[in-house]
């Protein structure tokens, strides 16, 4: 019997969106980690 995660990956592959979903998840994880590090160091982004 496959685990739930494996079944979900299979579903994404069947829908032909597996790569897109994984790329988006990776980008969101990197963004989250960057925001947390900036918060710890009390850094902000200046767009001027």
Q: 2 pLDDT exceeds 80?
A: no
Contact in structure between 12 and 6 (CB atoms under 8 Å): no
Q: How confident is the model at residue 21 (pLDDT cuts 50, 70, 90)?
A: very high
Q: 17 pLDDT exceeds 80?
A: yes
CB atoms within 10 A of CB 31: 10
Q: Which of 34, 13, 31 has the alpha carbon at shortest distance from 22?
A: 13
Contact in structure between 10 and 17 (CB atoms under 8 Å): no
Q: 1 pLDDT exceeds 70?
A: no
Q: 26 pLDDT exceeds 70?
A: yes
Q: What dihedral angle (degrees, nearest 10) is formed by the CA atoms of 15, 20, 23, 47? A: -140
pLDDT at 47: 87
């Amino acid at each position: 019997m496959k685990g739930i995660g494996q079944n979900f990956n299979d579903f994404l592959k069947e829908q032909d969106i597996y790569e897109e979903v994984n790329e988006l998840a990776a980008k969101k994880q990197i963004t989250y980690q960057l925001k947390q590090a900036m918060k710890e160091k009390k850094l902000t982004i200046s767009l001027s």
